[in-house]
Structure 1
Amino acid sequence: MRTAMATARTREQSASTGSAPARLFAPCRAACPVHVDVPGYLLAVAEGRFSDALDIVIERNPLPSVCGRICLRPCEDGCRRCLLDEPVAIAALKRAAADHGVYPTPRHPKRMRPERVAVVGSGPAGLTAAYDLACLGIHVTIYEEKPRLGGMLRYGIPNYRLPDAALDRDISFILGHGIESKTDIRIGRDITLAGLRASCDAVLVTAGLQLSRPVPIEGVDLPGVLTALPFLDAAARGMRVDVGKRVVVVGGGNVAVDVARTASRLGAREVTMICLESREEMPASDHELHDAETEGIRFLPSWGPRAVLGDDEVTGLRAVRCTSVFDAEKRFAPTFDESVSTILDADTVLFAVGQGVDVADLGVPLTQRGAPVHEPGTMRTPVERVYAAGDCVCGPTKVIDAIAEGHRAAAVIFRDLAGDDRPLVELDADAIAIGKVPEHVAHKLERKRRIQMERLEFYEACDSFDEVEFGYTQYEAAREAQRCLSCTTGARLTREKCAACLTCVRVCPHDVPSLQAGGYLYFDLDACHACGACVSQCPALALSLEGTSEAEMSRKMQRALEDHSVDATLAFRCGSAPGGFLHLGKDTTTLTQSCLLSVSERSVLEALQSGAAKVLFAECDAATCRFPHAQELVARSAERIRSILSQLGMEDAFEVVPVEPLEGEYLPWSS
């Protein structure tokens, strides 16, 4: 990501030309490690085009069902709605795209290349790299030690968060690209690395972190002391693990939370998490901690384990007060007050404090911590044609970071094998995020509550491994997506066409365009939220929205009308209107706009000239309108359209209709 100074320079350059910089991203997209086009797929969801939304996600993330459920959501941390109310539920809307959309048909290159690549491990990094290489025409075989593909996604993340069926959808899509898979095979045991190298042109090791370690304290060898990953693995395989009634989990990260909630589902009635960190420092994500607390998990932050108690079995854990975790240089260096201690009764003590790599018999040189030696930039190991990527070399990372690692690994391998520097997915290292919403705009924007997803009640959730969150309905997803501020999709000015008439300055509800010294107009993309008022009113056709130029609008209308009869009605529907999926009869086709302000008189006349018997404006209401004064401005536009058509004797060819919620629908934020 570029620096703030570089951002400022780019803005200055774009101001002089009137065009947006090539790598200017919405903050949500810039924050995503793989730069998924978040505004693009949210717009598609808002319009009810779930399959289109899924296509957009998969362009950069081949695991949409997975990430829609378990991603730690760096995109939401970047969402500019945080300044107004709450971030848009970006991850949940990714899940909605996967739940309600149809996965695209796997793309197969016209010509397969002769090279073969073996991918060792089937976690997110391995699956992503395999997918990219297959799409580029490489023959790929995945080798997995466990009975089923998925790695830690399947054996380390509980079903109540990531059901097998959701994971299987993503894996089936990936394998559909001609990828072969071999399970129950451990490299070094069932086949040697030398054997793989003999049959392949390259080997990529993405083995992940398979080992858990307890803290080396007194009593860790007692029966009843367990470690996180084997425990979660056993639960994932459906094995019954007797944890007793009282469980203490040592650790404060997301894995520890998974362990604690799993123990509760296996019959524990009292589950306590202790960790060195304070409550504010706990590394687990806030929403995971909230869910655990809702299910009755107790937190004891700022405590460190000193001894597991018991003779022939665990009876408890002694802990002492932790006064600090890191030193002045932010290095891990915990300090304790040994005079302050407590004893926690327990039948089982579960350690979730450290993960390690299990590749000792792989046949590549290892670092002191047991990870494959590799060059971070090229991912090459000292063994020729063997690469390493993912958690096995980077340490514990987020799933979306592992996906980014998979993309990078595939790009490196393809470059080395094919001599081609064009990766399937470019990670845009020079991307710039637009700035904050200016104060003069922020106070005008509507505050809208985030739509809460339906979920199991806590007393039901703790009794099974059923998925806790139900996901959005199509209607809920469309409504939540409409909270998006459409960052970076705002007005674009073609300087050569601009007549400097200042119509855009007069009609903009957010005071975005401004006249600069030298007589040119400047559009601040930090402020523009793509209502389209300036676009529809520009007499010189010098303005357009992202993807909605006059030419693009014409193409959309032609496509919308070509499959309908000569008596077809074309409805321009406001994207904020209730009734996510407007049905006005079999001969009505709908084009959804971010706002009806973006539809010009020219577009209405062109629709009628192109064969539409009638044009409708299907408008939102005051409760759902996104833009200040938009309804008033749309009413004026409608009057102008009626006046023009009246002069042509076509008064009945245009109508403004309110959109009511369909039967059974409700407005989640209207109260």
Structure 2
Amino acid sequence: MSDIMRPISIEALLEWILEEYKRNGTIFGVRKFFQADPNKKISLFGEEMETPVGPAAGPHTQLAQNIIAAYLTGSRFFEVKTVQIIDGENLPVEKPCINARDEAYNVEWSTELRVPDAFEEYAKAWFVLKLLSRELNLGSPDGFIFNMSVGYDLKGIKSEKVQNYIDSMQDASKQPVWEECMTAAKKLLPRFTRINEKYLASISPRVSHSITLSTLHGCPADEIEKIASHLIHEKHLNTFIKCNPTLLGYDYARKVVDELGYDYMSFDDHHFTEDLQFEDAVPMIQRLQALADDEQVSFGVKITNTFPVEIKQNELPGDEMYMSGRSLFPLSIAVAKKLSDAFHGKLQISYSGGADVFNVKDIFEAGIWPITFATTLLKPGAYQRITQIANVVSTLDYPTHVQLKLDKLTELVKKANEQALYQKSVKLPVTPKIAEKLPLLDCYTAPCRGTGGCPINQDVPAYLRYVSEGKYLDALQVIVDKNPLPFITGTICAHPCETKCTRQFYEGAIDIRGVKLEAAEHAYDELLATMEKPTPVKDAPKTAVVGGGPAGISAGYLLAREGMPVTVFDKADEPGGVCTQIVPEFRLSAQSVKNDVGLAKFMGAEFKNGQAAPSLDELHKQGYENVVYAIGAWRHNNLRLTKGSAINSLEFLKANRENTEINPYGENIVVVGGGNTAMDCARAAKRLPGVKQVSLVYRRNKRNMPADEEELIFAMDDGVNFLELLSPISLENNELTCEIMELGERDASGRRAPKGTGKFQKVAADTVISAVGEKIDTEFYQSIGIETDEKGYVKSNPMTLETNLPKTYVIGDANRGPATIVEAIADATKAANNICGEVNGEVHNKNFETDNQNINLAEPRAKRGNLITPDCDTTQAGRCLECSTVCESCVDVCPNRANIVVNVNGNPQIMHIDRMCNECGNCETFCPYSSAPYKDKFTLFNSKEDFNNSTNQGFYVIDAAKKECLVRYDHQEKTIRLTETIVDIPNGLLDLMETVIDDYSYCLAD
């Protein structure tokens, strides 16, 4: 496909708006419109705006439809995208150009349109807002402000092209586009209800008489002053100049970024030395303010321009990118504070730089406005997020003059450096994407239950919905349909589902695991009271399960539920494996394990504990036709020390579980390792009597430790002393000698590999506990004839987990290596399904999928764009966005509205529109699939030229009346008529194309 955007003509734009609104009650996908309070206005530049918020100069103000969507959702201040002398196809923007997964980065800085085309987009948007504000009664037609943005040097700004742009924005009446707007509106006048010719004649062609100067990094102070003086004196414009975080100085910025956890960002001091210096900025601003006063125009600063960092991990193409979002806020607000102090609170500040719903109230109450947004609008919910922001600000008192509150700014800077909201996670996040590729049709999915989400494909959205409705029994029934261990997994599951949760792009992932436990605790007794004993399968073969840990309990439950006779053998006195013998009681109670074992026993599973399981031959002699080995990874990797020795982590945890009041280990305990087992050891050691200090030694830093983030945080909260970048050498005289390490390049796992420095450090250590990993008992499996691979893991059929020995299965750790509990359940499910399938040809499969529930789509759609702020009382379950019912993230996050929902035979489908896309890549970031919707969804082309310039599967409508289309599908191109029988294109795609022609014809117009 091509990244060239082709703007929509004003007539087609109005046709689209009117027809979409008539059919769906939406405009460019916006479903909920903001209606301004008629009594709230704030003045700026001699104009008024109903809310002092809106999109920053960026992707949300590049095209007319972007600005329209922003207005509908509550924006009333629009900083339209920057123009400069280099434009259109000459602008060197590499694609993709945006990465907004967490903090955001971009490599684009000004409009990708030619400057005259950019002007036309802004003029069309201005005109349409004048119509919509009145027609839909959304606010005053004079209740919004357009603010120009230009760059980057005086020569370019004085060029004929940019000068014409500035003049045209101040008076569009003599430009062809203005006449086109009037002609189109008059033609469509009968379709409006509150617009007449008199009103059209009253629409002001003065699109903007204010401007924000954006300068590239390194622009000297005298150049900035010359440009601003030109804009104020010669163009008589109300003027803001953008100020960069480089005003803070390199040392300050580096310190803040590092302390907030963004230490991986790479930047040196060259921008800080080459950019405008604070000691030059203050007198320059004073002179410009005086000039503006003489010219009787407004003057102020815009905070902030972007923050440049180096591209080190292929985040985007190129060498340098511009950082924004929550990581920029602590720097931006510090710039605001520094300048405000210098001007004693009398400097007008327009603000952007990590602003969002969580801080907009504080920013505004500190006296800073207008406030513009970019990064938050690039995330799911997108434009609709403005509605929540506008609602917050419109409840506040609007000021009548500029007066910054320095005490509030001081507090805001402090909060920005301390609040978790602005701190990077201890661990860098894993990919939120599932493994599947994006289908052309029927793509709505809940990533929490997809591949890479839940290994047992639990219907997470279903049980979250039930819990949110207080239907705990229904929720628990959904859970135990695929999960035999609701208490164990509700407490210590590694919850990979949460790493895929779309809510993480709002205010944080849902505590899915906690909701599972909530359902289990509320409905366990009721579940037992309502469950029915399974009917035994006649003449079913007996199954022996060797190992009573999570994998074994799960296999026992799943087989017994299908009426299969099954016995679980375990040499421990109580079933549970690591859950009862190793995991500390403060993490998982014994009662929780008993509850889950109780479910398996209720189903009919027999448990034999207290002695080793019979041999494989003996089990066969006892009539067990199937044998499932579910033995955990109980062998320990040894920590090699040149002197002294360490104790085994599993032995330590087992002894501690048996008696937490005995401490034979001394006052200073050192745990070596960085995984979850190491965290358990350290936390358990902290609770021992007489312990003064527990240190955790690891050769990498916390960010590169394999432990789950929450386990790291728990250990830190418990007071464990983390000694990072240390590699143990020897233990003698109660001291552990370690080599100091440094991090090098990333290894195959993605973590930065440690390398020695030749320097050493001693750590007080009465006892060293080795927690450097566990291994499976490879020799055991080999001894009974089961084949293993070069890693020592058992070889088996990946679909059934049956080994080379017929009807002998291995599940859990021996199949995968040390595995999570939910992975053990997944393995048990495979083996049980195969055993049951061989007997009766089918397996247990109740249908709890949320896709098939009768859910009003308006309900989950209403949640999109609403972030949960501290004053909300929404439950964890209630935060679920119900992605399996309504996903549409690619629709949300596209600034240009290039992905749309098409209702085909009552089913929503996603279609991509080529002409509206500039390949920014944002939809790829947030699509749950390992795909890019702008490349992989069925695409509508508005010209044959665009069709030919693309490889996307899609169609171009040659003749709508004849329903004749040029189609590309499955690498084949052909011309078809939808009125004829077509056998080699799926009916769903044919229906989509016909629906577009019949019901979405407004998408076809030029």
Q: Using the alignment, how far apart are the partners of 1:355 and 1:326 within structure 2?
A: 26
Deviations 1:149-179 (A, max 9, x none): 0011111211101000111111111111111
Which of 629, 633, 646 is matched with 1:209 structurally?
A: 633
User: Residue in 2 aligned with 1:297?
Assistant: 720
Match status 1:96 vs 2:518: yes
Instruction: For residue 33 of structure 1, give the secondary structure of its aligned residue in structure 2.
Output: coil
User: Residue in 2 aligned with 1:319?
Assistant: 738
User: Residue in 2 aligned with 1:129?
Assistant: 555
Q: Using the alignment, how far apart are the partners of 2:906 and 2:846 within structure 1?
A: 35
Deviation of 1:7 (Å) = 1.8
User: Residue in 2 aligned with 1:165?
Assistant: 591
Work out whether residues 69 and 162 of structure 1, in 8 Å CA contact, stay in contact via their aligned partners in 2.
yes
Match status 1:280 vs 2:703: yes
Equivalent runs, 1:139-178 vs 2, <5 Å: 139-178=565-604
Equivalent runs, 1:611-630 vs 2, <5 Å: none
Q: Using the alignment, how far apart are the partners of 1:395 and 1:151 within structure 2?
A: 16
User: Residue in 2 aligned with 1:574?
Assistant: none
Equivalent runs, 1:522-561 vs 2, <5 Å: 523=908
Deviation of 1:299 (Å) = 1.0
With over 3 angstroms needed to count, the CA separation of the structure-2 counterparts of 1:57 and 1:355, relative to structure 1, is: same
Work out whether residues 407 and 425 of structure 1, in 8 Å CA contact, stay in contact via their aligned partners in 2.
no
User: Residue in 2 aligned with 1:244?
Assistant: 666
Q: Which has the higher helix share?
A: 2
With over 3 angstroms needed to count, the CA separation of the structure-2 counterparts of 1:482 and 1:442, relative to structure 1, is: closer
Which of 822, 827, 830 is matched with 1:408 structurally?
A: 830
With over 3 angstroms needed to count, the CA separation of the structure-2 counterparts of 1:443 and 1:516, relative to structure 1, is: closer
With over 3 angstroms needed to count, the CA separation of the structure-2 counterparts of 1:412 and 1:491, relative to structure 1, is: closer
Q: Using the alignment, how far apart are the partners of 1:2 and 1:234 within structure 2?
A: 40
Instruction: For residue 680 of structure 2, give the secondary structure of its aligned residue in structure 1.
Output: helix
Which of 776, 783, 801 is matched with 1:357 structurally?
A: 776
| Most deviating of 165-174 and 335-344 | 335-344
User: Residue in 1 aligned with 2:611?
Assistant: 185
Equivalent runs, 1:247-396 vs 2, <5 Å: 247-267=669-689, 268-310=691-733, 315-324=734-743, 328-330=747-749, 335-358=754-777, 360-361=779-780, 363-365=784-786, 367=788, 370-396=792-818
Instruction: For residue 143 of structure 1, give the secondary structure of its aligned residue in structure 2.
Output: strand
With over 3 angstroms needed to count, the CA separation of the structure-2 counterparts of 1:446 and 1:179, relative to structure 1, is: same
Work out whether residues 50 and 100 of structure 1, in 8 Å CA contact, stay in contact via their aligned partners in 2.
yes
Question: Which residue identity is paired with 1:216?
Answer: R
Deviation of 1:49 (Å) = 1.6
Work out whether residues 130 and 142 of structure 1, in 8 Å CA contact, stay in contact via their aligned partners in 2.
yes
Q: Using the alignment, how far apart are the partners of 2:492 and 2:659 within structure 1?
A: 21
Question: Which residue identity is paired with 2:595?
Answer: R
Report the RMSD for the aligned CA atoms in angstroms.
Answer: 3.5
Deviation of 1:423 (Å) = 5.5
Deviations 1:492-550 (A, max 9, x none): 9xxxxxxxxxxxxxxxxxx9997859x97773689xxxxxxxxxxxxxxxxxxxxxxxx
Equivalent runs, 1:555-634 vs 2, <5 Å: none
Normalising by structure 1, we get a TM-score of 0.61
Work out whether residues 214 and 220 of structure 1, in 8 Å CA contact, stay in contact via their aligned partners in 2.
no
Work out whether residues 248 and 348 of structure 1, in 8 Å CA contact, stay in contact via their aligned partners in 2.
yes
Question: Which residue identity is paired with 1:137?
Answer: G
With over 3 angstroms needed to count, the CA separation of the structure-2 counterparts of 1:217 and 1:55, relative to structure 1, is: same
Deviations 1:105-160 (A, max 9, x none): 34433342431000001122111111111111210000002111001111121110
Work out whether residues 513 and 524 of structure 1, in 8 Å CA contact, stay in contact via their aligned partners in 2.
no
Work out whether residues 902 and 909 of structure 2, in 8 Å CA contact, stay in contact via their aligned partners in 1.
no
Q: Using the alignment, how far apart are the partners of 1:427 and 1:93 within structure 2?
A: 17
Instruction: For residue 186 of structure 1, give the secondary structure of its aligned residue in structure 2.
Output: coil
Deviations 1:608-666 (A, max 9, x none): xxxxxxxxxxxxxxxxxxxxxxxxxxxxxxxxxxxxxxxxxxxxxxxxxxxxxxxxxxx
With over 3 angstroms needed to count, the CA separation of the structure-2 counterparts of 1:329 and 1:4, relative to structure 1, is: closer
Deviation of 1:332 (Å) = 9.4
Instruction: For residue 408 of structure 1, give the secondary structure of its aligned residue in structure 2.
Output: helix
Deviations 1:291-333 (A, max 9, x none): 11011001122221111224xxxx1211112334886544999
User: Residue in 2 aligned with 1:197?
Assistant: 620
Work out whether residues 636 and 648 of structure 2, in 8 Å CA contact, stay in contact via their aligned partners in 1.
yes
Deviation of 1:334 (Å) = 5.5
Match status 1:227 vs 2:648: yes
User: Residue in 2 aligned with 1:7?
Assistant: 438
With over 3 angstroms needed to count, the CA separation of the structure-2 counterparts of 1:165 and 1:450, relative to structure 1, is: farther
Deviation of 1:450 (Å) = 10
Instruction: For residue 201 of structure 1, give the secondary structure of its aligned residue in structure 2.
Output: strand
User: Residue in 2 aligned with 1:547?
Assistant: none
Instruction: For residue 407 of structure 1, give the secondary structure of its aligned residue in structure 2.
Output: helix
Equivalent runs, 1:36-51 vs 2, <5 Å: 36-51=458-473
Work out whether residues 201 and 385 of structure 1, in 8 Å CA contact, stay in contact via their aligned partners in 2.
yes
Instruction: For residue 133 of structure 1, give the secondary structure of its aligned residue in structure 2.
Output: helix
Work out whether residues 533 and 602 of structure 2, in 8 Å CA contact, stay in contact via their aligned partners in 1.
no
User: Residue in 1 aligned with 2:546?
Assistant: 120
Q: Using the alignment, how far apart are the partners of 1:401 and 1:53 within structure 2?
A: 21
Q: Using the alignment, how far apart are the partners of 1:335 and 1:483 within structure 2?
A: 40
With over 3 angstroms needed to count, the CA separation of the structure-2 counterparts of 1:210 and 1:170, relative to structure 1, is: same
Question: Which residue identity is paired with 1:176?
Answer: F
Instruction: For residue 102 of structure 1, give the secondary structure of its aligned residue in structure 2.
Output: helix
Work out whether residues 277 and 325 of structure 1, in 8 Å CA contact, stay in contact via their aligned partners in 2.
no
Q: Using the alignment, how far apart are the partners of 2:454 and 2:756 within structure 1?
A: 40
Q: Using the alignment, how far apart are the partners of 1:288 and 1:204 within structure 2?
A: 31
Q: Using the alignment, how far apart are the partners of 2:640 and 2:456 within structure 1?
A: 38
User: Residue in 1 aligned with 2:951?
Assistant: none
Normalising by structure 2, we get a TM-score of 0.42
Deviation of 1:335 (Å) = 5.0
User: Residue in 1 aligned with 2:219?
Assistant: none
- Unaligned 5+ segments in structure 2 are 1-431, 850-860, 889-896, 912-1006
User: Residue in 1 aligned with 2:839?
Assistant: 418
Deviation of 1:444 (Å) = 3.8
Match status 1:109 vs 2:494: no
With over 3 angstroms needed to count, the CA separation of the structure-2 counterparts of 1:364 and 1:327, relative to structure 1, is: farther
User: Residue in 1 aligned with 2:502?
Assistant: 80
Instruction: For residue 482 of structure 2, give the secondary structure of its aligned residue in structure 1.
Output: coil
Q: Using the alignment, how far apart are the partners of 1:487 and 1:204 within structure 2?
A: 36
Deviation of 1:377 (Å) = 3.7
Which of 480, 483, 488 is matched with 2:884 structurally?
A: 488
Deviations 1:363-396 (A, max 9, x none): 2446465544434343223333321111123111
Q: Using the alignment, how far apart are the partners of 2:495 and 2:787 within structure 1?
A: 32
Question: Which residue identity is paired with 1:206?
Answer: A
Deviations 1:217-271 (A, max 9, x none): 22344xxx31111111112222634221101100001010000001111232201
Q: Using the alignment, how far apart are the partners of 2:710 and 2:434 within structure 1?
A: 30
Instruction: For residue 157 of structure 1, give the secondary structure of its aligned residue in structure 2.
Output: coil
User: Residue in 2 aligned with 1:650?
Assistant: none
Work out whether residues 704 and 752 of structure 2, in 8 Å CA contact, stay in contact via their aligned partners in 1.
no
Question: Which residue identity is paired with 2:881?
Answer: L
User: Residue in 1 aligned with 2:387?
Assistant: none
Instruction: For residue 290 of structure 1, give the secondary structure of its aligned residue in structure 2.
Output: helix
Work out whether residues 542 and 625 of structure 2, in 8 Å CA contact, stay in contact via their aligned partners in 1.
yes
Q: Using the alignment, how far apart are the partners of 1:84 and 1:156 within structure 2?
A: 36
Instruction: For residue 479 of structure 1, give the secondary structure of its aligned residue in structure 2.
Output: coil
Q: Using the alignment, how far apart are the partners of 1:3 and 1:156 within structure 2?
A: 32
| Most deviating of 104-113 and 94-103 | 104-113
With over 3 angstroms needed to count, the CA separation of the structure-2 counterparts of 1:82 and 1:290, relative to structure 1, is: same
